[in-house]
Amino acid sequence: MLVACWSVKGGSGTTVVAAATGLLLAASGHDVLVVDLAGDIPAALGIPQPGGPGVADWLAAGRDVEGDALARLEVEAGPHLAVVPAGRHLPDEPARAEQLAEALAADGRVSVVDCGSAPTNTSMAVASAAGLSLLVLRPCYLALRRALQAPADPSAVVLVGEPQRSLGKSDVEDVLGLEVRAAVPWRPAIATAVDAGLLGRRLPSPLERALRGLVETVAA
């Protein structure tokens, strides 16, 4: 199973949703690989930033890399959880990104890819090939406008924001014609856990509650 998390506007909570989804799946006993196309996953999980090559280098290297080259990039991030770090500059290689999606889909584990918030041909090729492509969206008019022109078709939306915002779940579903699969509240406790590098140790309960249903369907 390949899950892609992406957004059309910076700072939407994409990395937090991707990291938390990976952590929840791992905590429920699934073997999980989190692939970082955007660069913040190690910091969000509270693990040291790997200095060496990463998925960007695998993409840039082309087909000639050895079969286990992707596996050799993995770093352990906890029980049942491994990360493929971002590496250097993400190349514009959509055909190679499709090969990445194929390799991840063929892996026995669940893969969660942080595709970032600045869509590129490469990241959108992965999102388009994912079994579950999640658009992470703040419930704001400007984000919604951009989502209407998104460069890939998501399978569903994860809404991240204050419940009192004038744009609610049903407005977003009506405008985009997509299901809101999870609504993550915007809470200081979540930001504090990320800032302290503690997300990987103990997921804040509002985040866990919000993503539990989504994670159960992925794991089923």
Ligand X SMILES: Nc1ncnc2c1ncn2[C@@H]1O[C@H](COP(=O)(O)OP(=O)(O)OP(=O)(O)O)[C@@H](O)[C@H]1O
Q: Nearer Cβ to ligand X, position 194 or 215?
A: 194
Considering only residues 30 through 59, tell me which ones interact with Mg ion, judged by CB under 5 A. Answer: 38, 40
Q: Nearer Cβ to ligand X, position 167 or 186?
A: 186
Q: For residue 82, which of 90, 69, 73, 95 has the smallest C-alpha distance?
A: 73
214 in helix, strand or coil?
A: helix
Closest distance between ligand X and the C-beta of residue 205, in Å?
A: 12
Closest distance between ligand X and the C-beta of residue 63, in Å?
A: 29
- The 8-class DSSP code of residue 36 comes to E
Q: Is 41 within 8 Å of 60 (Cβ atoms)? A: no
136 in helix, strand or coil?
A: strand
Decide if residue 15 touches Mg ion (CB under 5 A). yes
Helix H or strand E encompassing 81:
strand 81-84
Considering only residues 159 through 198, tell me which ones interact with Mg ion, judged by CB under 5 A. Answer: none
Q: Is 81 within 8 Å of 35 (Cβ atoms)? A: no
Residues interacting with ligand X, by CB under 6 A? 7, 10-16, 38, 40, 116-117, 160, 184, 186-187, 190-191, 194
Closest distance between ligand X and the C-beta of residue 69, in Å?
A: 26
Q: Residues 6 or more apart from 208 whose CB is under 8 A from it?
A: 20, 24
- The listed partner (ligand X, Mg ion, none) that binds 11, CB under 5 to 8 Å by sort, is ligand X
Binding site for Mg ion (CB under 5 A): 14-15, 38, 40
